[in-house]
A = this chain, B = another copy of it.
Amino acid sequence: MEFSSKLLENAVNEVSMLPGIGKRTALRLVLHLLRQPDTQTEQLAEALMKFRNEIKLCQSCHNISDVALCEICANTNRDGTIICVVEDVRDVMAIESTAQFRGLYHVLGGKISPMDGIGPHDLTIESLVRKVKEGEVKELIFALSSTIEGDTTNFYIYKQLEGTDVKTSTIARGIAVGDELEYADEVTLGRSIINRVPFENSLKTS
């Protein structure tokens, strides 16, 4: 790409460092800003800087938060005896949007993945185990994605908890609500039969 302007080139280079954004898209975005009032660029730059510099990780669950203890952990109406273990912040948001879970979370920050050089000590597993050993927690729900890495991570945590009497469970895998059986993959369909639930349970909507 031939740039007639260093300022433009710089802006395009920086934007194209974001994942999934190539040079052409970056150019389109940057030129779009030029057609908008300059306050928009200002607000964008400021929001990103403030976010990056002021955001905290909750000292208890490692969810991102504006304060030392996140909204969810600080909410005394939530049940601190049940903890849902997730990979990252987006999973917390996804589960929160269902309004079906009133316990707390623990954000691992990823999955154990030797291929990517991520070991147990790169995640927040130690603080989870410590929390369980302190005795308040009665149940852990593993809500990691069902990949080899996810299963490995679940199992690693499970082994670390030997000797405690915490209950562990994983979220149910099965046919998505509204999906046709014939299009489901065999593994999912198979699991949905093995893990069938009493019919009365399926009548509950909330």
A4-B93, A13-B47 given; 11 more Cβ-contact pairs under 8 Å: A1-B97, A2-B96, A4-B92, A5-B64, A5-B70, A8-B55, A10-B50, A14-B48, A18-B44, A31-B89, A38-B53
- Give CA–CA (A14, B20) in the complex, Å: 18
Known: A18-B32, A53-B38. A93 touches B2 (CB 8 A): yes
The answer to whether B71 touches A48, judged by C-beta atoms less than 8 angstroms apart, is no
Q: Which residues of B contact A184 (CB under 8 A)?
A: none
Using Cβ atoms and an 8 Å threshold, which residues of chain B touch A3? 93
Contacts of A20 in B (CB 8 A): 25, 28
Which residues on the B side are within 8 Å of A27 (C-beta)?
90, 93
Residue from B1, B48, B70, B88 in contact with A30 in the complex, judged by beta carbons closer than 8 Å: B48
A47-B90 in contact (CB<8A): no
A43: chain B residues at CB < 8 Å are 14
Question: Size class of A's contact patch?
Answer: 35 or more
Q: How many angstroms between the C-alpha atoms of A8 and B5 in the bound complex?
A: 32
20 CB-based A-B contacts, threshold 8 Å: A1-B93, A4-B70, A4-B72, A5-B64, A5-B65, A7-B50, A7-B51, A10-B47, A11-B50, A14-B44, A19-B28, A20-B28, A21-B29, A27-B90, A34-B52, A41-B52, A44-B45, A44-B48, A45-B48, A45-B49
Q: A42 an interface residue at 8 Å Cβ cutoff?
A: yes
Chain A residues within CB distance 8 Å of chain B: 1-8, 10-11, 13-15, 17-21, 25, 27-34, 38, 40-55, 63-66, 70-72, 88-90, 92-93, 96-97
Chain B residue contacts of A44, Cβ below 8 A: 14-15, 17-18, 45, 48
